[in-house]
Amino acid sequence: MNKSNKILLALSIVLLLILIATYYLFLSKDHYVPDLFVRGDIEDVINLKETSSFNQVKIEHKGKKIKVYKLEDVVNRALPLSEEYELVLSGNDGRRAVIDGKQLNFSYLNYSSENGWEVINFNHPISSNIKLLKNITVVDKKSDFFDSLTIITQSENIIKTTVGELLTGSYTKKPFLRGSSTLNVDGQLYSVDVYSEKRVISLADLVDREILGRTVIYNKKGETLIHRDGFLELTNNKISYFNSESEEWLEDITGIVLDAPLTSNKDVFYDSLHYLEAGYKVLVVLLDGFGYHQYNYCLDEEIIPFMAEIENSSQAITSYKPVTNTGLAAVLTGKGPQENKIYSRDFKHIAVDDIFKKISKMSLNSVYIEGNIKILNTSIEPILNPDLNQNGITDDEIFKKTLKQMNGNANFVFVHFHGIDDMGHTYGPYGEKTIEMITQSDRYIQELAQNWPGKIIITADHGMHSILNGGDHGLVIYQDMFVPYLITDGGLKDE
């Protein structure tokens, strides 16, 4: 073989090897694989494009043995928020199939160059075998209010939905400007605007009504924004709020209050200081767990005669999360969780000055009367009241201690009754024992008022809703979020 033929043979072998390598490279997992997201009502978003951590199994399909992924294993890795859910299988061509999350045995995911990602269901009708699969959306069928987005008014819970439901409903893909840049090339300017596409829905479209009043938005951390023509953004497992014009953004929202009242239980802080500066003494009565809906019920039933006579009364909103630590901190600081850093029952250290410190700087005296435990780290120590007579509540001890302290030199007395909340948890917000406790609280307040020569503010830290065996609170629902707010004068009511 001459030298030229040897060179040609060598080149042919090299070319053949390149072709073989290219062929196997295309068939290998290293070639382009499109995204396939498991999204919705889950804790962890999964992209099946990254399949290295998933085990494959062999099945026989259409006369061929192929390696596939168990759909159930994939979904379980995403950690659905409950055991009761549906899977919405969406294809690039707009086709959808919905299957029960409890019926995923013999359901598989496969990828091929011909069909892209596809579902292979042996126990479902063939119409469930979606090809060119784009998304697998988990839609929770048993979500509680904490895992949902709730939208409420002052007297009604109007919407409870989830990101899974919204992702499988109607929304708009809308481009939003991320930024602009310019490059100078030989004196010529070349500019580019960069946009990102977001899945959005307007609040007005979601609630199917015009948004007119003050609308407050909460996220799961307790952070708050006021709605100003922004959008709800649907990410793969969260609902967030953003306004591109004002650059406001609130991630992972949990509740929206439409037509929210301007009055808040935070007003206690500012009203108290106002009256003290005007020379009044101030008594604040905090009725733990006394919701505005309970207040209205008791007015209708004519069982709180003293509070019923107070003309300066209004509905107030509390902070999220509506639990004692958060509500109490809001009352004592005039700030919400974003500023006072009390987000839930797990937090005790207040990050801003409380009202007792403000009053001390005015050279005035304060007294703080509590139940049997210290709830927050305040600037003065609370006077604690154990259940000395072992009757299951501390309100009688708190009442007696307050009467005694009112005879001292305090300019400001803050008293925190717990009986309504205690009874409500056990018997429900309208249980007989709870209503009796509300009536007794009204009597306590009346007697305190008759002995107090100053202003009196009455409110609550949060409300309460009914559950199967009692009551609970901590959700963005109207029963939990709204409380009464009353202002009156002491020493003016007849016995």
CB 387 within 8 A of CB 399: no
> Distance between CA atoms of 467 and 426, rounded to whole angstroms?
10
Please state the rounded mean pLDDT for residues 369-387.
97
Q: What is the pLDDT of residues 294-307, one digit of tens each?
A: 999 999 999 999 99
> Distance between CA atoms of 81 and 88, rounded to whole angstroms?
15
Beta strands in 298-421 (DSSP E): 313-317, 366-369, 412-417
Please state the rounded mean pLDDT for residues 336-353.
96
DSSP 335: -
Q: In terms of pLDDT, which residue wins out, 174 or 216?
A: 216
The pair phi, psi for residue 491, each rounded to 5°, is 70, 10
Instruction: Assess whether pLDDT exceeds 50 at residue 494.
Output: no
Give the lowest-confidence range in 110-124, 279-293, 475-489.
110-124
Q: How confident is the model at residue 258 (pLDDT cuts 50, 70, 90)?
A: very high
CB 306 within 8 A of CB 290: no
Please state the rounded mean pLDDT for residues 77-92.
94
Q: Which DSSP string corresponds to 343-356?
A: -STT--B-SS--HH
Q: How confident is the model at residue 320 (pLDDT cuts 50, 70, 90)?
A: very high
For residue 52, give both structure tokens.
């290295």
The SS3 of residue 449 is helix
What pLDDT does 63 receive?
Answer: 87
DSSP 205: H
Q: How confident is the model at residue 375 (pLDDT cuts 50, 70, 90)?
A: very high
Instruction: Assess whether pLDDT exceeds 80 at residue 73.
Output: yes
Q: In terms of pLDDT, which residue wins out, 183 or 142?
A: 183
Scanning the structure block, which residue is given the tokens 């005015």?
Answer: 362
Please state the rounded mean pLDDT for residues 226-244.
92
> Distance between CA atoms of 130 and 115, rounded to whole angstroms?
9
Q: What is the pLDDT of residues 438-449, one digit of tens each?
A: 999 999 999 999
What pLDDT does 408 receive?
Answer: 87
Q: Which domains does the chain have, with CATH numbers?
A: 31-140 (3.90.420.10), 145-257 (no CATH), 267-489 (3.40.720.10)
Q: How confident is the model at residue 247 (pLDDT cuts 50, 70, 90)?
A: confident
Instruction: Assess whether pLDDT exceeds 60 at residue 115.
Output: yes
Instruction: Assess whether pLDDT exceeds 60 at residue 489.
Output: yes
Instruction: Assess whether pLDDT exceeds 80 at residue 240.
Output: yes
Instruction: Assess whether pLDDT exceeds 90 at residue 491.
Output: no
Instruction: Assess whether pLDDT exceeds 70 at residue 16.
Output: no
Q: Mean pLDDT score of the chain, rounded to an integer?
A: 91
Q: What is the pLDDT of residues 465-479, one digit of tens each?
A: 999 999 999 999 999
Q: In terms of pLDDT, which residue wins out, 144 or 81?
A: 81
Strand partners, 284: 414, 457
CA 481, 486, 488: angle at the middle one, nearest 5?
170
CA 324, 158, 213: angle at the middle one, nearest 5?
80
What pLDDT does 3 receive?
Answer: 60
Q: How confident is the model at residue 413 (pLDDT cuts 50, 70, 90)?
A: very high
Helix H or strand E encompassing 297: helix 292-300
The SS3 of residue 216 is strand
Instruction: Assess whether pLDDT exceeds 80 at residue 136.
Output: yes
> Distance between CA atoms of 435 and 297, rounded to whole angstroms?
10
DSSP 426: H
Q: In terms of pLDDT, which residue wins out, 346 or 493?
A: 346
Instruction: Assess whether pLDDT exceeds 50 at residue 25.
Output: no
The SS3 of residue 237 is coil
Q: In terms of pLDDT, which residue wins out, 34 or 24?
A: 34
Please state the rounded mean pLDDT for residues 20-35.
57
Q: How confident is the model at residue 72 (pLDDT cuts 50, 70, 90)?
A: very high
Q: In terms of pLDDT, which residue wins out, 53 or 207?
A: 207
The SS3 of residue 164 is helix
What pLDDT does 4 receive?
Answer: 64
Q: What is the pLDDT of residues 33-58, one digit of tens each?
A: 888 999 999 999 999 887 667 889 99
